[in-house]
Chains A and B, each alone.
Chain A
Amino acid sequence: MISIRLPFAGQCLALVLLLLIFSWISLFSWSVIAITPMDALHALYNMNAESIAQHIVHDLRLPRVLIGIMVGANLAAAGVIMQGLTQNPLASPSVLGINAGAALGMATVSSIAPWFGLLGTSLAAIIGGGIAWAFVMLLGSAWRGGNEHGRLVLAGVAISALCAALTKAVIIIAEDQAAGVLTWLAGSLTDARWQTFDSFWPVCVIGLLGAMLIAPTLNLLQLGDDNARNLGVSLMWVKLGGSFLVLLLVGSAISSVGAIGFVGLLVPHMARMLAGQDHRKFLPIAMMLGACLVVLSDTISRGIIYPAETPAGAILALIGAPFFIYLVRKRTL
């Protein structure tokens, strides 16, 4: 295991710096209309209303970066909570079916009742993800605790397959909405605007604060359900509360930018390598790492077949899937 043992504060500082640099790069790189690095900075604090480049930065790039940061932090926090609740190193929104469930909910509502609008589809995504997650937990017998890691993952995979099939069926039957749903399914930051940002940030802040509050309890869960109960943890409430937080975090992220996979799987492990096993420390680290990862892959996704864009989700999947295999191989299941 690689451990870079900077003190905690130093790690935080380094990650914040890294995040700022990535965001800055993301603001000016790969644009059809040339943007200089200085344009990007000027647009932030001293906007020149005449410059098209600075308008692009302010109206398109900035909300995109901010949303990318929030999405990354949300998904990483959700991954940490899920892995803590299930004590399963493979737990994450994409592996355990939440993404697929949310996609199904969203596809169903937007094709059957499109007049519900953004709020309706967000709600549908959260409800769909919640139902899928409940099914996976029940079928994978994760409520009972114990070491049934493989079963939980396979249950997640089967639920994902089922939801994916139903989603495709819905898309095909309700053809007219298909294009929108398909772009959304791939998980892309292309359509991130200030409007999305406005409805996203309150939920994001509540979710992340909640995650920090639950972190000490997650430490106790590492000792096993029985020991945690001995130490006065109410398992029932922790698991319900944790699940609710996960849904809030994942649901808000998914309804803003679509199903971005593998962040929740990848980042908690990286964070553990950096900050050790204490949730109070590696949870904030994970949030910052997640933000860095999403901003970075969004930047790459714009550049890789420039001038066309690939969804950031596809880039993340390419990085994430080999890591998933590595985890399966390394861990004894």
Chain B
Amino acid sequence: MATRSLPILLLTLLGLLLANLMFGAVSIPFKQILDGLQIGSEHYFTVHEYRLPRTILAMLVGAMMALAGALVQGVIRNPLASPDVLGVSHGAGLAAVFYMSFFPNADISWLPAVALVGSLMAALMLWWLCGQHSSTIKMAITGVALAALYASCIDFLMLVKPLEINNALLWLTGSLWGRGWNQLSMLLPWLLLMPFALWLAKPLNLIHLGDDSAISLGIKANKLRLASLAIAVGLTASCVAICGPIGFLGLVAPHLTRKLVGGRHQILLPSTMLVGAILLLLADLAARTIDPPIELPAGIMTAIIGAPYFLWLLLRTK
């Protein structure tokens, strides 16, 4: 299965990368895209300054969100778990809005760190409320309730301190609009987390077998859980800091991938990054081309695809 799926996924990804460069408010033929990379050409601005960084960003963010989802689902053994269902993304959002409204003059490049703190606190909060022995559905509901709490705090902050409400709103819907090379360079350091995540592939396989078996096979279950949740939180926070919470991606991508390539994390983790990148590129492409020149936030597109998928999952979960 895996050997057949991987090349197809790679080809799809390449095709979508190209499509994202070509289509939008203006269509640019394939030949002129290569020219567009040269300074001074007709489409230089559109291709090099606008579409290229955005496309790369969509690819990376999609991959990172999907990876975070796979890590969380891997250790919690819960098909309904994902950073956004567990309230981590909303926690990051709350911290970021808090930062933007109380320190309006502060350096924007601190935003990822602030979002990271927020999502860490959200993760700790969930851990504290649920402990280790909660049932899967109870954990998901607690996460959802926490997310509702953070969302209402965000609303409240934005109403009380309506400084840059438009900016914050735009950011909170989860969008790639207006993101460029600057944001891309802010994201780059966080890519270092990816090899660490892949390094966890083998123990993640074993934790899938239950804690007892995993420990008996020589895995330190609690340390592993901590490590992969920490990486997942880091990945989510950095993405949320740059694009805002893009819902359901971390939930859907690992699931689809498990259907395609099976549950071995050595294959699952890299493939889920491909699937995540594909999904976000697709969502962004649709968001830009559905009704040009108006753009929908990509986060809305992922929610429209993701929520029905979540419902379908819910029907299947016993």
Residues of A within 8 A of B (CB): 90, 139-140, 150-151, 153-155, 157-159, 161-162, 164-166, 168-169, 172-173, 175, 186, 304-305, 310-311, 314-315, 317-318, 320-322, 324-325, 328-329, 333
Whether A333 lies near B137 (C-beta < 8 A) is: yes
In the complex, B10 has a CB within 8 A of chain A: no
List 12 other contacts, CB 8 Å, given A165-B247, A173-B294, A310-B156: A150-B140, A151-B137, A154-B80, A154-B144, A155-B311, A157-B144, A162-B308, A165-B300, A165-B303, A169-B296, A305-B159, A314-B156
Q: In the bound complex, how far is the Cα of B294 from the Cα of A173, in angstroms?
A: 7
Q: Give A155 to B317 CA distance when docked, in angstroms.
A: 12
The winner among B142, B153, B307 for most chain A CB atoms within 10 A is B307
Interface presence of B155 (CB below 8 A): yes
Chain A nearest Cβ from B61, distance in angstroms: 18
Q: Interface of B with A (CB < 8 Å)?
A: 80, 129, 135, 137-138, 140-142, 144-146, 148-149, 151-153, 155-156, 159-160, 173, 247-248, 291, 294-297, 299-300, 303-304, 306-308, 310-311, 314-315, 317
Instruction: Assess whether A321 is in contact with B149, with CB atoms less than 8 Å apart.
Output: yes
Nearest chain B CB to A92 CB, angstrom units? 12
Q: How far is the CA of A162 from the CA of B310 in the complex (A)?
A: 10
User: How far is the CB of A96 from the nearest CB of chain B, in Å?
Assistant: 12
A314 to chain B, nearest CB (A): 5
- With beta carbons under 8 angstroms apart, the residue of A158, A304, A321 that contacts B311 is A158
The residue on B at minimum CB distance from A136 is B311
Is the CB–CB distance between A310 and B138 below 8 Å?
no
A137 to chain B, nearest CB (A): 13
Cβ-closest 10 pairs across A and B: A317-B152, A150-B137, A165-B303, A162-B307, A321-B149, A325-B145, A158-B310, A165-B300, A324-B145, A310-B159
Q: How far is the CA of A320 from the CA of B155 in the complex (A)?
A: 14
Asked if A333 meets B138 with Cβ closer than 8 Å, knowing A168-B173, A322-B149, A324-B149, the reply is: yes
Chain B, residue nearest A151 (CB)? B314
- What residues of chain B lie closer than 8 Å to A324, measured between beta carbons? 145, 148-149
Q: Are A310 and B311 in touch, CB under 8 angstroms?
A: no
Whether A314 and B144, one on each chain, are in contact in the complex, defined by CB atoms closer than 8 angstroms, is no
Per the bound structure, the CA–CA distance linking A186 and B299 in Å amounts to: 20
Bound complex: CA of A159 vs CA of B135, how far in Å?
22
Chain B's closest residue to A141 (CB) is B315
A305–B149 Cα distance when bound, in Å, is: 21
Given contacts A161-B303, A321-B145, A325-B146, contact A173 B296 (CB under 8 A): yes
Cβ–Cβ contact B160 & A305, under 8 A:
yes
Are A153 and B294 touching (Cβ within 8 A)? Answer: no
Tell me if A154 and B304 are in contact (CB < 8 A): no
Report how far A158 CA is from B310 CA in the complex, Å.
7
Q: Which of B140, B291, B306 contacts A173 (CB 8 A)?
A: B291
Complexed CA–CA distance, A121 and B307 (Å): 25
Q: Is the CB of B149 within 8 A of A139?
A: no
Pick the contact of B304 from A90, A150, A169 — CB < 8 Å?
A169
> Could you tell me if A318 and B294 are in contact, using CB atoms closer than 8 angstroms?
no
CB distance from B270 to the nearest CB of A (A): 28
From A162, which residue of chain B is reached at the shortest CB distance? B307
A169 contact set on B, CB distance < 8 A: 296, 300, 304
- The answer on a CB contact under 8 Å between A172 and B137 is no
Question: Given the complex, which residues of B lie within 8 Å of A162, measured CB to CB?
Answer: 303-304, 307-308
| 12 pairs from A and B in contact (CB 8 Å cutoff) | A150-B135, A158-B308, A158-B310, A162-B303, A162-B307, A165-B247, A169-B304, A173-B291, A175-B294, A304-B160, A314-B152, A321-B151
**Contact indicator B294/A154 (Cβ below 8 Å):** no
B308 to chain A, nearest CB (A): 7
Q: How distant is A270 from chain B, measured CB to nearest CB, in Å?
A: 18
Whether the Cβ atoms of A158 and B307 lie closer than 8 Å is yes
Partner of A166, one of B151, B304, B311: B304
Taking CB atoms, residues of chain B closer than 8 Å to A322 are: 149
CA distance A155 to B144 in the complex (A): 11
Contact B315 A139, beta carbon cutoff 8 Å: yes
The answer for the CA separation of A150 and B143 in the assembled complex, in Å, is: 12
CA of A164 to CA of B248, assembled, Å = 13
Are the C-beta atoms of A150 and B141 separated by less than 8 Å?
A: yes
- Say yes or no: B142 contacts A154, CB within 8 Å: no
* Separation of A107 and B60 alpha carbons in the complex (Å): 34
Q: How far is the CA of A153 from the CA of B141 in the complex (A)?
A: 7
Collect the chain B residues with CB atoms within 8 Å of residue A329's CB.
129, 142
Most buried by A among B142, B152, B306: B152
A257 to B148 Cα, complex, angstroms: 21
- A161 near B247 with CB under 8 A, answer yes
Residues of B within 8 A of A158 (CB): 307-308, 310-311, 314
Pick the contact of B152: A165, A321, A328 (CB < 8 A). A321
Residues of A close to B138: CB separation below 8 A: 150, 328, 333
In the complex, what's the smallest C-beta–C-beta distance from A134 to chain B, in angstroms? 13
Q: Chain A residues near B296 (CB, 8 Å)?
A: 169, 172-173
* Distance in angstroms between the alpha carbons of A139 and B144 in the assembled complex: 18
